[in-house]
Structure 1
Amino acid sequence: MVVKKSGKALLREEGLERTDNDLDLTSWPQVNMINQKNYYTEFLKRDDQFLAYRSQNEEARSRMIKEARDKDRALAQSSRVGEDGAVDAVDDPSTEEAIAALGSKEAYASKLIVLHVGSQNLRIGLGTDALPKTMPMVIARKWRENESEENGGEPKPKRLKRDEDYTHEDSDKVYDNWFGEDFDSQYATMASELRVRMRNNKRRVLPNSREVIANFNRKSFPDTITEHNDPDRVDWTEIPRNPKEAPDFVTGEAALRIPEKSIPRYKLFWPIQYGWFNEEDYTSRNQLYHDISRIFEEAFRSQLGIKDLKELANYNCVFIIPDLYERTYVTMMLDILMRDLGLGKVCLQQESLSATFGAGYSISCIVDIGAQKTTVCCVDEGLCLEESRVNVKYGGADVSETFMRMLLHDNFPYSDINLKRRYDWILAEELKRKFVSIKDSDVVVRTWEFHLRASGQDTRKYVFKTYDATALAPMGYFKPSIFDHSQKLNSRRNFIPRSVDLYDGSPNDPISIAQIEVIDFAAGKSATENGALPDIANTAQINSTPSKERPFSLLSRLNDVELTPRSSVAGSPGPEGTPNPDRDTPAAGDLDKPSIFHDPVFEKTKIAEERDKVLPIMPLDLAIMTSISQGARGDDRKMRDFFGGIMLIGGGSKVPGVGEFLEERLRELKPGFQKEILVGRPPREIDEQVLIWKGGSVFGKLSSSGNDSWISRGEYDMLGSRLLVNKCMFAW
């Protein structure tokens, strides 16, 4: 008979009874399970958890302590002892504080450097300077041949036909078809349109003006002036004939004054071209990096008087970048300033926003016509409207080249001009600056003269006549097909790749809806024909893409998973019966057929590559209309404000009459805004070329004490370019 045992007896006999003394098995702290229904974390949710904000607060606290100590010390030193032995304070301490504050501001401004880099010129100056110093953004290096001897000495502008046996005695011979039938037809069309416009404006038009100037120029001979009789002779840069004594490089104005036949030879390098890095003349990123660094170093020494570069650690720098920038450009320039040159702090500022700071405007449409690029951007309340940014690749340099083409077409007496030669390029810029005008009153037959000065040659004085070429060349802003764009995309993305997203590898350079409209217009994808304005209201919904993705956060990724699942980069298997891309190779004719497989990263990369193949070109008036339409976004009041605040800046806008002509073109495109459209110049007679630099100087001095956009050396050494997410005033 089996006896049933109790639970205690069973535990005792089977060895299951607990015999420990309730002590923990380890001394390591035990963490209790969290309540899965209610948990919370503060990770990266407070400003003091970010290095950028934490360091800023620490600097502000240290500054307050220092100012308090300085104030107490000043009060103690300024007190005086009376006859009775009592200590009397100063009569007016507020005056002393004002003087001390003024001294501190001047001391800060004297340590502030403002840099504005362009494709042709570099503008640099201190915060205490009223105007910047301007120097060419060029460096000359020892080379096997100069730039005019490369490619077999092919001239610029390129001539399709050149009669070497032509002499001035052959009066019946005419230079024709030098630049192709396309240029001749466009030149004739623009001349015909100008005559119609002048007749409508009650201007007198002579029918044979072109023949008069052609016959005069054909028979014009130069006069020779000896060097000692030339009061404006040029001081050329002397190069020692011994190659060991010759400098390795020369920058700035001295580089342009190196003789063409110097021994050893020097070649000019322009690191920035058309607003991009120059990947045509360079072969490596390091060479481009070092040339920019050398130009900056020599500018600090020659223009600012900073002989020892170790002193740059005590200087702050406001660096002005384009509105529609490339991330690689910004990060590379920031790396040069912080690590290569060793500046103490750097602040980034956009060009159009700096222009509004310099002009004192709160809302405006900034049109910046530079040497090789033109930008349009709407600024409202201290912000560049992202979707309104436009960047087209033509400028004042295209006007110079086109002006020379038109003069050569009209039998220009100096027929051997070659813009690849340094002295000829300087001459072309001088002729454009003196003679080009878009005013109707200046379109008459006029006689001009100029002096050609070349190293080792006597000065030659030329006399020539012009008619409508002086007005038709700057009209290329409104008909850019007259410009030569054939070489502007050469070697694009040769050794500097585009910036990509850190997480999925997709291109992340900023883009705007207005710029997409420009690219589609240049590619012929726009619905308009014959120069009509695109229907932006209908195409905005199709082409609208955000210029910046949302910042990465875990919560947003979880929401994306719950609401709209994100496609995997690797793809997912298709249903039964569908071909496997890894196993089945499609035929050559099936490559263009739509596929069920979706790869968002590949699609973004392909779109970016297609856009890089198109040079963004659009007439200036249409570009302004596109920018304002995207900046206003249907708000009629803002559109009227932007039309009434169009401001022309940049060296290319200094052509007489271009503002009035632009205003007339815009009123033709927008008849309902006749009274609102106003195109103006910078106020207070500020030079159009230095307004952006002036605005950067004003911004740098205003933000001396509490601006969170300054990047310090310690922060950059720790985080690098990742710091820009928290430091930029614009969407990075």
Structure 2
Amino acid sequence: MVGKKSGRALLREEGLQRTDNNMEFSTWPQVNMINQKNYYTEFLKRDDQVLALRLQHDERLDRRKKAAVDIDRARAQGAADGVPFVEPDPELDEDDAMDDIDSENFGSKTIIFHPGSANLRVGLATDAIPKTVPMVIARKSQHTESELSEPLPKRQKLSKEGATEELFGEDFATQYNTMATDFRTFRRSNKRRVLPNSRELVQKWNTAVPADIISEHNDRVHVEWTELPADRKQAPEYIVGDAALRIPERSSPKYRLYWPMRYGWLNEEDYTTRNMVIRDFFLILEESIKTELGLRNRREWSQYSAVFVIPDLYEKVFVAEMLRQAIVEFGFQRVCFIQESVAATFGAGYGISCVVDMGHMKTGIACVEDGMVIEESRINLKYGGADVTDTFVRMMLFDKFNYQELNLLRRHDMLLAKELRETYGTMSDENISVQQHTMYVRAHGEQTRKYDFKLYDEGMLAPLGYFRPAIFDHTDKLNARRKLIPRSTDLYDGRPNDPMSPAQLAVLDYAIKNIPSAVTATPVKPARPLPTPMSISTPSKARLLGLPPHMNGNGDTTPASSVAGSPPPEDMGTPQPGDATESSDPTLPDTDALDLVVPIMPLHSAILTSIEHASGLDERRRRDLLGSIMLIGGMSKTPAFHTYLEAQLRAAMPQYPKEILVARPPKELDPEILVWKGGSVFGGLRVTNDSWIGGVEWDRLGGRILNYKVLWHW
């Protein structure tokens, strides 16, 4: 007889006993229970819990209390004098007047800064026009900038035959000859007379006519060179602005020119440390305040406010550094920021506009509506007036220009080339013909040289590079990029978070597919990140581009947002399109490829790309933006440029024959200073402007205060 077995033995023998093999019941992710203690918390859900908003509320309350006390005092005084008291109108908008409560002009204590790659515009908000200071500083050095680098434009070694096609390479010769052929076809279609041997006439004249020497007593124009002390030890360590550009090449001691800003961002190629480039940038601002505004006593600066005009696609690290320097080092009472496109609409008085800022080394495009930039439309192209000047010089040298030793790195040659481009550059083919011109080369310690030379189509083909940017030289524009200045990264996942737009992604995609010289193959070791990253990125929206395939790649879609917490990629170039976006679209390039791309696109295509992303499916907004395209910046002064651009836009979008309109700023405003003028209007508003950042806010929150204070999505 078998004995009775226990239940545990039966489970073991029959295989019914449960064993734990550490396997999950399901592959679905497990959601943890909500912490009921914090479920109903109100942390940072009320305005009084945010320091920036609480300080604004306290400031308004103090202002109202002061106004109430003033009214009571005035009422009592009126009763004592037997004069009836008139109550103020409570409906008046305080921002309409520039007189504050103490009847002091608020704008007279506000300084407006608009830094650029070539010039700094600075002035008080009450000034009619700003002071213009070249954004350059000269420092003592063993060698000048022309001695440290090969001549610019860069020449190639010629063969024994010395053909001009070899001077700047086969690619440039092909591009130049193609543009010249298309230009002749364009002139014939406009019923213009075209001589078949115009280029040969120019080359023959320039080769045969030498320079004439003019003695000093016969030269009626004298250049005012910067005089240096006879004792080398007494020479200043640095010189800023116009005086730096007029230092003789063979001065004793020698000086080297530094440009802290290039292509709209800090110049990392000519500097060895981050502190040096930042120091020179703010040193130019400091000297401009002292010399141009007459505020030599730094103790007075604490009574002033500062407005900084920054690009639409800015770098957060640099903006945060500007805030720190203005509050801590300069000691300004308060600081605020405004974007360039918004400032342009403020200055022009436009409610809606597509702003095209044609600067010295960059061209910014953005659509603005009701005082706000449409984030998806922002574009930053890395070409400008400097590229036109360089191309104009190369074209003249290609046509055997008789001043063959022209070097844009020499100071007098740089100023001469800019003058020639401004004088002979045009976008009108009406008066294009073989014409004789005269120029004078004046260098310190040398006799004046007079050159008689001839030009044909160089004055129009050079600015035509805006529509054929492959003719520009893009090879060195990303040199040493991110070598010194780190990029901003997200506080939580460590991903780069500088602002990016779908329109800028389309520009980078176009550059990869159509402009080989815009793609850099040499990576640079990225700079060490800052210990305290900045804030979150600007979101991007997926949207199809309704442009022709030849103007917008292949109608690619914009990458969608991603929240993946992967480590930040190695950074070597243009702001990352993949900073906050990733895409499964196989037609788009990957993020690593875009790191080494210069954003280049024909100007008319870039404008239409910006408008398309800004309008989306809203046909009414698209028509409004097409009819309010505003050209600003120095290069917008090129004769007939807006007319030529308008014709190109209408040819690309024939379905809008009457809606497209390209115009300059109204009211005869100078397009070069329009952005600064808009900043002065913004800075002249009274203290009710909530974007001001004071010292208390900076001390407690640092750069994080920008999340609450700027008037756009930081």
Q: Same fold (TM over 0.5)?
A: yes
- The one of 145, 151, 158 aligned to 2:154: 158
In 2, the alpha carbon distance for the partners of 1:71 and 1:315 equals: 28
What is the SS of the residue equivalent to 1:524?
helix
Whole-angstrom distance in 1 between the partners of 2:182 and 2:657: 23
Structure 1 or 2, whichever has the larger Rg, is 1
Aligned counterpart in structure 2 of residue 233 of structure 1, from 222, 225, 228: 222
* CA displacement at 1:569 relative to structure 2: 5.8
Q: Which residue in 2 is equivalent to 1:329?
A: 318
Task: Report matched runs for 1:60-459 at 5 Å.
Answer: 60-70=60-70, 87-89=81-83, 101=99, 107-151=105-149, 154-161=150-157, 175-459=164-448
SS in 2 for 1:673: coil
Task: Render the CA deviation track for 1:347-397: whole Å, top value 9, x for unaligned.
Answer: 110000110111111111011110000111111111111111111100000
Distance 2:582 2:662 in 1: 41
| Cα offsets for 1:415-450 (capped at 9, x unmatched) | 110000011000011111111111011311222112
- Check whether the contact 1:355–1:366 (CA below 8 A) recurs between aligned residues: yes
- Are the aligned partners of 1:280 and 1:491 in contact in 2 as well (CA < 8 Å)? yes
- Cα offset, 1:529, TM superposition: 13
Q: How far apart are residue 123 of structure 1 and its match?
A: 0.3
- Equivalent residue letter for 1:130: A
Gaps of 5+ in 2: 1-33, 516-544, 568-577, 584-588
Deviations 1:675-696 (A, max 9, x none): 1111000000101100100111
The partner residue of 2:657 within 674, 682, 688 is 674
- Secondary structure of the residue aligned to 2:667 is helix
Task: Please say if residues 106 and 128 of structure 1, whose CA atoms lie closer than 8 Å, have aligned partners that are also in contact.
Answer: no
1:714 correspondence with 2:703: no
- Of 708, 711, 714, which aligns to 1:729? 711
Q: In the TM superposition, what whole-angstrom CA distance separates every residue of 1:136-176 from its partner, at most 9, and x where no partner exists?
A: 1111111111100004xx1000111359x9xxxxxx98745
Mapping 1:33-52, distance limit 5 Å: 36=36, 40-52=40-52
Residues 293, 340 of structure 1: 8 Å contact kept: no
544, 557, 563: which one pairs with 2:559? Answer: 544
Cα separation, partners in 2 of 1:545 and 1:228, compared to 1, 3 Å: farther
Is 2:651 the counterpart of 1:652? no
| 1:454-465 matches, cutoff 5 A | 454-465=443-454
Amino acid of the structure 2 residue aligned with 1:112: T
C-alpha distance in structure 2 between counterparts of 1:306 and 1:468, whole Å: 48
CA contact (8 A) 1:352 1:377 kept: yes
Secondary structure at the counterpart of residue 240 of structure 1: coil
Q: Give secondary structure in 1 for the equivalent of 2:684.
A: helix
How much does 1:317 deviate? 1.1
Q: CA 1:62–1:231 in structure 2 vs 1: closer, same or farther (change >3 Å)?
A: farther
Structure 1, residues 551-607: CA drift from partner, whole Å, max 9, x if none?
Answer: xxxxxxxxxxxxxxx86769xxxxxxxxxxxxxxxxxxxxxxxxxxxx999989x96
- Distance in 2 (CA, whole Å) between partners of 1:220 and 1:380 is 56
> 1:406 is paired with a residue of what secondary structure?
helix
Q: Secondary structure at the match of 1:470?
A: helix
Q: Deviations over 1:242-296 (max 9, x none)?
A: 3321111100000101111111111111111111111100111111111112101
Shift of 1:226: 2.9
Q: CA offsets, 1:654-682, max 9 Å, x none?
A: 11111111111111110101111110000
Alpha-carbon RMSD across the aligned residues, in angstroms, is 3.1
Whether the aligned pair in 1 keeps the contact of 2:98 and 2:107 (CA below 8 Å) is: no
Corresponding residue SS for 1:346:
strand
* Contact 1:370–1:651 (Cα < 8 Å) also in 2: yes
More helix by proportion, 1 or 2? 1
Q: What is the distance in 2 between the residues matched to 1:185 and 1:141? A: 40
Whole-angstrom distance in 1 between the partners of 2:411 and 2:687: 46
Q: Given that residues 497 and 579 in structure 2 are in contact (C-alpha distance below 8 angstroms), is that contact kept between their aligned partners in structure 1?
A: no
Query: Distance in 1 between the 2:217 and 2:84 partners?
Result: 67
Aligned residue identity for 2:559: S
Q: Secondary structure at the match of 1:523?
A: helix
Task: Pick from 549, 552, 564 the counterpart of residue 534 of structure 1.
Answer: 552
Query: What per-residue deviation string (whole Å, max 9, x for no partner) do you get for residues 587-632 of structure 1?
Result: xxxxxxxxxxxx999989x965532211111111111111111011
1:131–1:545 Cα change, 3 Å: farther
The equivalent of 1:625 in structure 2 is 608
SS at match of 1:148: helix
List per-residue Cα deviations over 1:493-518 (Å, max 9, x = no partner). 11212111111111111111000011
Q: Distance in 1 between matches of 2:192 and 2:104?
A: 55
Aligned to 1:662: 645
CA distance 1:94–1:384, shift in 2 (3 Å): closer
2:310, 2:581 → 1: CA distance? Answer: 29
| Worse overlay, 510-519 or 327-336 | 327-336
Post-superposition shift, 1:328?
1.4
- In structure 2, what is the Cα distance between the partners aligned to 1:60 and 1:421? 55
Shift of 1:225: 2.7
Distance in 1, Cα, partners of 2:233 & 2:504: 50
Retained in 2: the 8 A contact 1:124–1:133? yes
Of 227-236 and 721-730, the range deviating more from structure 2: 227-236
Q: 1:502 aligns with which of 491, 512, 517?
A: 491
- Determine if contact 1:293/1:341 at 8 Å carries over to the other structure: no
Distance in 2 between the 1:529 and 1:679 partners?
A: 19
Distance 2:257 2:388 in 1: 21
Q: Secondary structure at the match of 1:419?
A: coil
Change (3 A) 1:242 1:322: same
Instruction: Measure the CA separation in 1 of the matches of 2:581 and 2:657.
Output: 47
Decide whether the 8 Å contact of 2:99 with 2:105 is kept in 1.
no
Report deviation, 1:101.
4.3
Contact 1:506 1:602 in 2 (8 A): no
AA aligned to 1:711 is I
Query: Would the alpha carbon gap of residues 468 and 255 (structure 1) be closer, same or farther in structure 2, given more than 3 Å must change?
Result: same
Distance of 1:206 and 1:113 partners within structure 2: 55
Aligned AA for 1:533? M
Q: Is the 8 A contact 1:275 1:372 kept in 2?
A: yes
Q: Deviation of residue 221 (structure 1)?
A: 2.5
**What is the identity, as a one-letter code, of the residue corresponding to 1:147?**
E
In the alignment, the residues of structure 1 paired with residue 179 and residue 216 of structure 2 have an alpha-carbon distance, to the nearest angstrom, of: 41
User: May I ask how many residue pairs the two structures share in their alignment?
Assistant: 632
In structure 2, distance between residues paired with 1:417 and 1:298? 32
Structure 2: how far apart are the matches of 1:313 and 1:416?
50
Equivalent residue letter for 1:617: I
Shift of 1:701: 1.4
TM-score, normalization by structure 1: 0.81
Q: Gaps spanning 5+ residues in structure 1: where? A: 1-33, 81-85, 166-171, 550-565, 571-598
Aligned partner letter, 1:217: N
Distance 1:521 1:447, change over 3 A: same
- Secondary structure at the aligned position of 1:179 is classed as coil
Gap change, CA 1:216 and 1:90, over 3 Å in 2: farther
Alignment of 1:591-630 (within 5 A): 609-630=592-613
Cα separation, 1, equivalents of 2:194 and 2:333: 62
Letter in 1 for 2:82: D
Distance in 1, matches of 2:103 and 2:195, equals 62
Which residue in the other structure is 2:573 paired with?
A: none
CA–CA distance in structure 2, aligned partners of residues 38 and 131 of structure 1: 56
Alpha-carbon offset, residue 407 of structure 1? 0.8
